[in-house]
């Protein structure tokens, strides 16, 4: 699990094809790797990946074909910046919101406008995700925990503060950029619970007909 609070901006060093998968080596930037060991999870621009190799200042992860198909990681190249966050510890503060690192889909930036010291973005998610995105709700964009400023139709809006622009890769986004999206876990579980425990619509029975005045008692 993660919080969506980015700990460092890293950069892709190398991408090595391995059949349908990719071995990705990442320059970890200011991310502290002193407590990282093989098998640990690090969110790379919102995608939870397993550390398969590391050395001072860098780590490697294997990106599966499924992850490449479901995220925007396949569009990255050598030198691309990425948001980094190590997995949440039970003693950590939950500064953002609960994030699994399992990307739900890829969205597209359709508008970017300066608003004083802030930057306004409008993002179009995949149609299947729109029902999970609510005004003032939480969403994870390229690993960053954000509040939805407004959600309407097939798009949602964000207003990004200067600190977030400085400490993440979001400032590099432009119209046409693709972003990894993870919707709020609570929204997904509520939907599943509602579907599972919703009362079934009663069928037409003799008792219902008698109560409505039809037939004999």
Q: pLDDT tens, position by position, for the chain (217 residues)?
A: 999 999 999 999 999 998 889 999 999 999 999 999 999 999 999 999 999 999 999 999 999 999 999 999 999 999 999 999 999 988 888 888 999 999 999 999 999 999 999 999 999 999 999 999 999 999 999 999 999 999 988 999 999 999 999 999 999 999 999 999 999 988 888 888 777 776 555 666 667 666 766 655 5
**Do the domain assignments include residue 181?**
yes
pLDDT at 24: 97
Cβ-contact 38, 53 below 8 angstroms: yes
Tell me: do 55 and 137 sit in the same domain: no
pLDDT at 155: 97
For residue 132, how many C-alpha atoms fall within 13 Å in the half-sphere facing its CB? 22
Q: What are phi and psi of 176, to 5 degrees?
A: 100, -15
Spatial CA neighbour of 108 closest among 183, 175, 184, 182: 175
pLDDT at 196: 73
Tell me: do 132 and 193 sit in the same domain: yes
Tokens representing residue 7 in the block: 């700990």
Cα(192)–Cα(198) distance, rounded to whole angstroms?
10
Q: Which range of residues forms the domain containing residue 39? A: 8-86
**Do the domain assignments include residue 169?**
yes
How far is it between the farthest Cα atoms of the chain? 85
**Do the domain assignments include residue 59?**
yes
Tell me: do 71 and 142 sit in the same domain: no
Sorted by sequence, the CB contacts under 8 Å of residue 77 that are 6+ apart come out as 12, 15
Tell me: do 41 and 70 sit in the same domain: yes
Whether the full predicted model's pTM is greater than 0.85, yes or no, is yes
Burial class (CB in 10 A: 0-12, 13-18, 19+), 24: buried
pLDDT at 190: 82
| Total structural domains within the chain | 2
Beta strand pairing status for 58-63 and 47-55?
antiparallel
pLDDT at 211: 72
CATH of the domain at 37: 2.40.30.20
- Residue finishing a domain among 36, 55, 86: 86
């Amino acid at each position: 699990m993660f919080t969506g609070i980015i700990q460092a901006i890293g950069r892709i060093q190398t991408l090595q094809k391995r059949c349908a998968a990719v071995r990705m080596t990442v320059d970890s930037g200011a991310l502290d790797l002193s407590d990282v060991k093989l098998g640990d999870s690090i969110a790379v621009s919102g995608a939870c990946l397993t550390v398969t190799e590391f050395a001072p200042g860098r780590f490697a992860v294997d990106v599966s074909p499924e992850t490449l198909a479901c995220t925007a990681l396949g569009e990255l190249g050598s030198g691309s910046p990425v948001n980094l966050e190590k997995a949440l510890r039970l003693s950590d503060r939950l500064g953002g919101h609960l994030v699994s690192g399992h990307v739900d889909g890829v969205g597209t930036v359709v508008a970017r406008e300066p608003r004083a010291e802030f930057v306004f973005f409008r993002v179009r998610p995949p149609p299947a995700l729109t029902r999970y995105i609510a005004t003032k709700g939480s969403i994870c964009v390229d690993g960053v925990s954000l509040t939805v400023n407004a959600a309407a139709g097939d798009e949602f809006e964000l207003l990004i503060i200067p600190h977030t622009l400085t400490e993440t890769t979001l400032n590099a986004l432009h119209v046409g950029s693709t972003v990894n999206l993870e919707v709020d876990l609570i929204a997904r579980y509520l939907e599943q619970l509602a579907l599972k425990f919703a009362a079934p619509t009663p069928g037409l029975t003799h008792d219902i007909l008698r109560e409505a005045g039809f037939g004999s008692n």
